Amino acid sequence: MGRQMTPQEALSPKTLAPAAGSFAMMPATSAPTLMSGLHFTFQPATFQPSPERQLQDAYMLEKASLAALHGERLRWTGVRHFWSRLNKYFVETKQNIRLLETFMDDDAILETLNRAEKGEGAGKGEGRGIAALTNEAAAHYETMIAAAPDEDVLGFCEQALVQKQEMAEWMDETLPQFEGAFMPAAAGEGETIHRC
């Protein structure tokens, strides 16, 4: 039987150093039972808004998009097929607002409008372009699909997401050529000046 270490030897740095090193290399799964409740990496909790708040944010995004589209339709009336696509999206956006209102009670709609007035929630910021709002709405509907409270809301979100994705794709393909070739007139003038 070997000689037992004295308390001084057991606690010396020379004896403790290898043990500390070997413990540091142990994977988390093999840590001692007393350590199983400890986590050495920090993972901040992700905030998930309630379904009601998500509906409110979608409502604000659609309202902001509608306002932006109204101005864009006036600016592009001289380019018929461009205006037609914007107008189609304008109608879809109005329909989305009506559908969202069916999922919300009057108090929720009033709270949403109050939040928008204060500059809170989704779609905030003056002068946001339709491209930015469309991309933000698409991302928002993707989030809502993952946490939809019922089949009606899920079906609506899936349909709205397709609309946003199609519009974003159309803008990516079309806007560069139009912005290079046309100078939209000031809102309300109803005509477009060709640069060429």
Superfamily of domain 51-181: Ferritin, core subunit, four-helix bundle (1.20.1260.10)
Residue that the structure tokens 């004896």 belong to = 15
Q: pLDDT digits over 25-46, tens only?
A: 444 444 444 334 444 344 444 5
State pTM to two decimals: 0.65
Tokens of 53: 């708040």
Query: In the chain, what are the domain boundaries?
Result: 51-181
CB contact set of 79 (below 8 Å; sequence gap of 6+) = 178, 182, 192
pLDDT of residue 190: 44
Residue with tokens 């308390």: 7
So what's the pLDDT on residue 12? 58
**pLDDT, position 31:** 44
| 153, two tokens | 């809301």
